[in-house]
Amino acid sequence: MNDIVRIALVVGLVIALPAIYFLWRRIHLLEQSRARLGEPLEATEDKPPRATPLFQRYHFLPWMVALVVGIGLYAFARFPAIFAASFGLVVGLVLTQLETYRLTYATLQIEEQLADAIDLMVAALRVGAGATSALEIAARETKAPLRAQLEEVLGRIRLGDDAQSVLRDLEARVPLETFRLFCSALSVHWETGGSLAATLAIVGRGIRDRVEVQRRIRALSTQARVSTISVLLVTYFIALIIWRNDPERMSQFLATVIGQYLVAGAIVLQAVGLVWASALSRLRY
């Protein structure tokens, strides 16, 4: 009977957590819609639409998975509560780091694409093409995810939208320093004119230098990350050897409250060490 209750509890949580999130999301959108409908007409006309960011962050998903893992270990694997909570915390921290790595990779990819697109625009501008034609050539030759952003900018400008507002929306969708610099250069050109090819050439060179520095930082910090992970794996390997050699004494140690707290504290400190080492290897410049 207890197993049935535990299984029902875990299944209920797995179903309820996404349902609660989507329900909260729907209520939040409805509240925003009511707030905008309640504003005066003059205020809604002057207020530009909010741009949707290109990179979506899933802040709650790793911790939802960690909660499900912790409850599953406690309900099915019959782990002590402190071990289940410790492993759940570790899973949440590791998934958060993987989410950060995913965002870093996507950022590096779109910055490289922006540098290539700027080179295409500079080449087109130097042979006599206009700014709109150069942007069209860059949008046609660039791959996803940058291609969709450039096509939206080009399409809105051709439909008659203000170039300044279009570029501000692009800067809001991709909140990176490189895109802020690119949008600023185009905004100044559309406002005052001048030699856009020389300006974009300097911007493209700066973006490539930034990407190169980021690659070097990742290459230099890879050895430290691998060393940290190796030390952690060696710790678990030693614990497995001790368990295989003397399982009775290890079981007695883990059955005590002090042993459980010491092992759980070691697991949590290892996860915190991974997060700390990863944070030290990420530099802002």
Q: What is the pLDDT of residue 37?
A: 65
Rounded distance between C-alpha atoms, residue 254 and residue 245, angstroms: 15
Instruction: Annotate 234-283 with DSSP letters as a single string.
Output: HHHHHHHHHHHH-HHHHHHHHHSHHHHHHHHHHHHHHHHHHHHHHHHH--
Clarify whether residues 137 and 182 are in a common domain. Answer: yes
If you ran DSSP here, which 8-state letter would residue 127 be given?
T
pLDDT digits (tens, 9 = 90+) for 166-199: 888 888 888 888 899 899 888 888 888 778 888 8
List the structure tokens of 167: 């570029």
Confirm whether 165 is domain-assigned.
Answer: yes
CB of 90 within 8 A of CB of 269? no
Confirm whether 263 is domain-assigned.
Answer: no
Q: What is the pLDDT of residue 17?
A: 65
Q: What is the pLDDT of residue 93?
A: 84
* Count of positions (residues) in the chain: 285
Rounded distance between C-alpha atoms, residue 148 and residue 52, angstroms: 13
| Residues ≥6 apart with Cβ < 8 Å to 202 | none
Q: What is the pLDDT of residue 83?
A: 86
* Amino acid, res. 50: R
Domains in the chain: how many in total?
2
From 61, 129, 136, select the one nearest 96 (Cα to Cα): 61
Segments in 76-176 forming alpha helices (H):
81-126, 131-141, 146-158, 163-173
Confirm whether 98 is domain-assigned.
Answer: no
Question: Residue range 136-155: average pLDDT?
Answer: 89
Confirm whether 177 is domain-assigned.
Answer: yes
Residue 240's Cβ-side half-sphere holds a number of Cα atoms within 13 Å equal to: 6
Q: What is the pLDDT of residue 36?
A: 60
Q: What is the pLDDT of residue 41?
A: 47
Q: What is the pLDDT of residue 38?
A: 64
Q: What is the pLDDT of residue 15?
A: 66
- Measured in whole angstroms, the distance separating CA 168 from the mean position of its chain's CA atoms is 22
Clarify whether residues 27 and 70 are in a common domain. Answer: yes
Q: What is the CATH number of the domain that holds 206?
A: 1.20.81
Confirm whether 59 is domain-assigned.
Answer: yes
Clarify whether residues 206 and 120 are in a common domain. Answer: yes
pLDDT digits (tens, 9 = 90+) for 211-250: 888 888 777 777 777 777 787 788 888 888 888 888 888 8
pLDDT digits (tens, 9 = 90+) for 54-108: 777 777 888 888 888 888 888 888 888 888 888 888 888 888 888 888 888 888 8
CB of 53 within 8 A of CB of 170? no
256 pLDDT above the threshold of 60: yes
CB of 122 within 8 A of CB of 221? no
pLDDT digits (tens, 9 = 90+) for 18-66: 677 677 777 767 776 667 666 554 444 444 455 567 777 777 888 888 8
Q: What is the pLDDT of residue 52?
A: 65
